């Protein structure tokens, strides 16, 4: 295991605990905002990179700015709404907090890949890279669900 793997575990646990304390409604907003930040960073970092501003710095900066806006919005809404989803609030927040931790880890892997390249030892030897950065499990699950949806069992 490399430092990226340990960072992934630490981020998932830390963010999961924070999101459980904040509640499910904030966590839902945070999850959507962090996913949007991840997509915006992935599609727009090359447009703002330059000789003075590397691709990896642009990628990380875009992500963090959008995440900061998202956390600010969810915190303001939390203060105004004070909502609770009942007995499932902590469970929902826990699962979504884990997902947000994986999104942050995905950004860490992307940063390492952009900044150091594919041959960087911590990136290349990572035990979790296939699941966190290349998303093998999620893609496999989605393909499985697609096959189930397209199977004609009645005919």
Give pTM, 2 decimals.
Answer: 0.85
Quick: pLDDT tens for 44-82. Answer: 998 888 888 899 999 999 999 999 999 999 888 888 877
Q: What is the pLDDT of residue 35?
A: 93
> Predicted confidence band at 154 (pLDDT cuts at 50, 70, 90)?
low
pLDDT digits (tens, 9 = 90+) for 95-108: 999 999 999 999 99
The rounded distance, in Å, linking the Cα atoms of 37 and 48 is 15
Task: Print the SS3 string covering the chain.
Answer: CCHHHHHHHHHHHHHHHHHHHHCHHHHHHHHHHHHHHHHHHHHHHHHHCCCCCCHHHHHHHHHHHHHHHHHHHHHHHHHHHCCCCHHHHHHHHHHHHHHHHHHHHHHHHHHHHHHHCCCCHHHHCCCCHHHHCCCHHHHHHHHHHHHHHHCCCCC
Least confident of 37-41, 84-88, 96-100: 84-88
């Amino acid at each position: 295991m490399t430092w990226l793997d340990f960072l992934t575990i630490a981020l998932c646990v830390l963010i999961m605990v924070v999101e459980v304390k904040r509640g499910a409604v904030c966590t839902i907003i945070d999850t959507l905002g962090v996913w949007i930040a991840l997509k915006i960073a992935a599609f727009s970092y090359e447009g703002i990179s330059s000789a003075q501003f590397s691709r990896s710095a642009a990628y990380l900066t875009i992500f963090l700015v959008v995440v900061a806006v998202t956390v600010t919005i969810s915190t303001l809404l939390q203060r105004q709404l004070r909502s609770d989803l009942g007995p499932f609030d902590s469970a929902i927040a826990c699962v979504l907090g884990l997902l947000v931790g994986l999104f942050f880890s995905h950004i860490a892997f992307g940063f390492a890949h952009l900044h150091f390249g594919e041959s960087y030892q911590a990136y290349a030897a990572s035990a979790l890279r296939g699941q966190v950065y290349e998303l093998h499990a999620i893609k496999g699950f989605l393909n499985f669900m697609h096959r189930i949806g397209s199977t004609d069992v009645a005919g």
